[in-house]
Structure formats: C-alpha cells, structure tokens
Structure 1
Amino acid sequence: MDKIPVGFFKVVNKIKNRPYYKRKIPGGYPCNHLGNRWLGINANRAYVDTYGIHGNNNESSIFKRN
C-alpha cells in the first residue's frame, strides 16, 4: 500500500464516479472502492488524480485502513 502524503494540499479536481484504474473497475459500479465522489489533491507533484479524498462503498470500513 502506498504511503499517505503528509502536508497541506489543494483540491485540484472533483470527479463524480471516478474509475478505479488500478483494478480496472468503472466508475459507478457497486464494487468500486472509491465510492461515487473523488477530490483530487496536489500531493507530491503527482498527476491530479493520483492522490485524493474519496467516498466509500462500504460503511463498515470507514476509519479503517484497507
């Protein structure tokens, strides 16, 4: 699992139903772990959809590391 970036970041994009590229899961699918909202942040000078704050498709996993 990637390390979580530390610092202050700006939201650089907002995406509804973002695909989960790593596992090739289309946006909006119930098995998409990112939920239906994505806020991309400018962490580590990465591409604008590499790091983000996102929704969730499983309420019982909130506040737990996957």
Structure 2
Amino acid sequence: MNLRVVRNAVSRVLAARADDPRLFFLDGRHLLPDAEVSDLNDGLHPNAAAYERMGIRFGERAFAAGAPLATPRV
C-alpha cells in the first residue's frame, strides 16, 4: 500500500459513485502541490507556512459559492 495505490482506489470509488450528490472529494495535491514539497521539513509534515496556505486553499475550495460546504442561499 502506498499513496499511488490509495489515490487510484479513491479515484475508482469516486468514478463508481459519480451520481451521489452527497459525495465530494478534495485532492490533497490542491492544498499542497508537488511544487511546494520543500515545505515538508521532515519529508512528511508541513511547516507552519505550508499549513497556513493549505488552510486558505481549503477554505477557498470548500466554502466558495456552490462548493460542498458553502452556506446555501435561502
């Protein structure tokens, strides 16, 4: 089991359940792209600056209009 295997498995599940409106997925590579791997000081854990950027990116994607966690308009 490695990250590539897990990502492939998740992709297959998402494809099989594409018609489920309650299922959503945010790929971690959108939060911390490969170009920022230098912010993994120990090769695994993000440093403080990376955590801050990841949080901002999560908010932009998860809470934007029409996103899964956005507040619905009434």
Q: Which has the higher contact order (CA 8 A, sep 6+)?
A: 1
Question: Going by fraction, where is strand more abundant, 1 or 2?
Answer: 1
Higher-helix-fraction structure:
2
Between structure 1 and structure 2, the one with the greater Rg is 2
Provide the TM-score with structure 1 as the length reference: 0.20
Q: With structure 2 as the length reference, what TM-score do the two structures score?
A: 0.19
